[in-house]
Amino acid sequence: MSARKLENVGSFQQQITVEARQTRLELSPDSVVIHKSGVEFRSPVPFNLWTEMTIALQSPRDESPIQCSGVVIACSGNKHVGYHVSLLFTGMSKQAQSRLNSMAYSELGTG
């Protein structure tokens, strides 16, 4: 993942949904770090490497969520403290990437 974070200042104020085959997580915005090429989040359950997931992000400025897909590239932790999951975006459409970038830059005041 890129070392440059796109969001960590409240750009996404609604819950973030992460789904795998039989798991659906509703994550609070403060538990997710969004990078230009993926996301990192805390999870109460572990995920196997290469698990395919979908994620829905919604900005308070835009009513339609951004749908992204990706694969788990790292998962560490345990059942007592939770798991730190890294997800790499795959096959993101140019429109979704553009919306993600414009939301992040406008919220941060850098573009």
The answer to whether residue 16 scores a pLDDT higher than 70 is yes
Nearest-angstrom CA–CA distance, 62 and 59: 5
Q: Assign 2 to helix, strand or coil.
A: coil
Domain ranges of the chain: 5-108
DSSP string, 11-67: S--S-EEEEETTEEEEE-GGGEEEETTEEEEEESS---TT-EEEEEE--TT-SSPEE
The answer to whether residue 102 scores a pLDDT higher than 50 is yes
Burial class (CB in 10 A: 0-12, 13-18, 19+), 49: exposed
Give per-residue pLDDT as tens, 47-100. 999 999 988 877 666 667 788 899 999 999 999 999 999 999 998 888 888 877
- Which fold is adopted by the domain 5-108? Thrombin, subunit H (2.40.10)
